[in-house]
Chains A and B, each alone.
Chain A
């Protein structure tokens, strides 16, 4: 494993480094550059440098909406993660119950939301489930004699709708990971626990959870990142071009996107993007150190 050669490895990786440089690195640098200018629709080419004004506007002025978007994002991430972890754990426990013969079939069926193309699932939910006239939810409501309701027109129902959809889409991955982790727990632990008279709670708290925690850490961290930067659900459900539903939910990512592509405030959008990237780097450094310490 110790081939030493100074030039050959760079030759091998040169094409991909060029590609990544052009598509990933350069746009980030360019975004930093734009974030220090007042570039917008009226200043497409004759923009000026305004130093940190965009950052100041995003971080200190409440009416810029960034801080409330940040708060929404934090609530969104925490709620989703707590519910997901609990639900996935219980479902995976159920799937691993001894004697459940159909477990494999259930597992395959439960994987479907993960396998579906995400944008198609979201659009199907928008059209088939949440739509005020034809959606399934409102068909059930009207069958029960209630009046129909637009689930996406106000912030709190829209937030809950987005969350339900996010759970539907994201749970299969975590269930799968938890299921794998549960199968790796040594059965003899449970036997000795049972001999010592440990009940269901004790077995879960003292055996299952501690043994699957290190295996699950990477997938939980990954899911946290995806939940944090979830854009498609909120965008496609509530703020599609030309068909805003009335809800004004914004997470930091949709906020950056709206400012770039709807209100054409490129400077502000870029500043916000850089701030978000900063958060992500800090968070991943923090998480990486946490994992390393746990392993030592």
Chain B
């Protein structure tokens, strides 16, 4: 028995060493960006190999004061909130309908939505671009919000429908017997019950818009209406000046709110993603 416990301890120590190393290697790019962001220019890329000799916050100050970071931030917030309102406003009622009613075309519609969801939106980006050009929606937040909301709508419908399915219909029936109208029942009973799912879905829409760069950099071409993605993209594209430590400071600033949001809804991410993605 003693040999066995000795072996266990040895095994566990090896595992611990392995995981400490693995976590360290995993975090290197993020740590490196952080170190870059607090180093003064010379020590970042000069001789100091890993740790900056004189940590400083001046990159953060520079990004906030000298670069239009706050305008990018404002634009990103406008896009995220606008998308969230439009996507949730349209998909909550639709997911309720798909969950509660049995009507002709329901199954076909749900399947069609899944197939459409598998379509990589990059592939129709040119068609949307041409279409929006004719409709004067380029360089326009409304255009981008429409795109984001349209693509997140499918995900939201599937995600919330799954949750509505788990709310027993008897609750609604008894409310109806008590004389509630359908509007009242939805507003006062069903939506409060579905609140966890609605919040999680809304946060995921928010994260999606915050993290999207391709459509943002293609459709917002003027510098004054860049959002964070456009601004950061531009910062890292200038190779030969001090913009890299600025870029890492900006990267840290943009990531922190998302990291907080992500870890606060993390346990819902998994179920949400897989039910939304493939279940047919």
Contacts and interface: CB of A to CB of B under 8 A. Distances in A.
Interface of A: 1-6, 8-10, 12-13, 15-17, 19-20, 22-28, 30-31, 34, 91, 94-95, 97, 99-100, 102, 106, 108-121, 123-129, 133-134, 136, 139, 143, 168, 173, 176-177, 180, 218-219, 221-222, 225, 229, 231-232, 235, 240-243, 253, 256-257, 260-261, 266, 269-270, 273, 276-277, 280-281, 284, 287-288, 291
Given A15-B94, A16-B91, A106-B19, 12 more contacts: A10-B97, A12-B97, A13-B94, A15-B90, A17-B94, A23-B151, A28-B127, A106-B23, A115-B266, A117-B254, A123-B233, A256-B123
24 contacts: A8-B182, A9-B101, A12-B93, A13-B98, A16-B91, A19-B150, A23-B147, A24-B121, A24-B124, A28-B124, A34-B130, A106-B19, A111-B263, A118-B211, A119-B211, A124-B248, A168-B29, A222-B273, A222-B277, A231-B120, A232-B213, A261-B126, A277-B123, A288-B280
Interface in B69-116: 86, 89-91, 93-94, 96-98, 100-104, 106, 109, 113-116
Contact of B119 (A24, A115, A118, A134): A24
A6 B97 CA distance: 11
B72 to A, nearest CB: 13
B232 interface: yes
B94 A113 contact: no
Contacts of A177: 270, 274
A276 B127 contact: no
B262 interface: yes
B270 A253 contact: no
Contacts of A257: 122, 125
Contacts of B194: none
A111 B262 CA distance: 10
B258 A117 contact: yes
A219 B274 CA distance: 6
B251 interface: yes
Contacts of B127: 27-28, 30-31, 34, 270
Given A229-B120, A266-B126, A112 B94 contact: no
A2 B109 CA distance: 17
A240 B251 CA distance: 18
A260 B258 contact: no
B89 A15 contact: yes
B126 A9 contact: no
B214 A232 contact: yes
Given A23-B147, A127-B247, A31 B30 contact: no
Contact of A127 (B26, B125, B244): B244
Interface stretch (B9-17, B52-60, B195-203): B9-17
B170 to A, nearest CB: 10
Contacts of A95: 19
Contact of A19 (B113, B146, B169): B146
A260 B32 CA distance: 36
B270 A27 contact: no
A202 to B, nearest CB: 18
B116 A20 contact: yes
B138 interface: no
B248 A127 contact: yes
Interface string B123-159: 1111110110000000000000011011101100100
Interface majority SS (helix, strand, loop, mixed), chain A:
helix
B237 A242 contact: yes
Contacts of A123: 232-233, 236, 247, 251
B63 interface: no
Contacts of A23: 128, 146-147, 149-151
A177 B267 CA distance: 11
Contacts of B248: 124, 127-128
Nearest to B113: A20
Contacts of B182: 8
Contacts of B131: 26-27, 30
Contacts of B189: none
Interface in B259-274: 259, 262-263, 266, 270, 273-274
Contacts of B233: 119, 123
B11 A97 contact: yes
Interface string B168-200: 010000000000001000000000000000000
A256 B122 contact: yes
A185 B244 CA distance: 47
B229 interface: yes
A111 B237 CA distance: 28
B62 interface: no
B151 A117 contact: no
A127 B157 contact: no
Contacts of A110: 22-23, 26
A120 B254 contact: yes
Nearest to B143: A23
Given A19-B150, A229-B120, A240 B237 contact: yes
Top 4 A-B pairs, shortest CB-CB distance: A23-B150, A273-B123, A12-B97, A13-B94
Contacts of B16: 100, 102
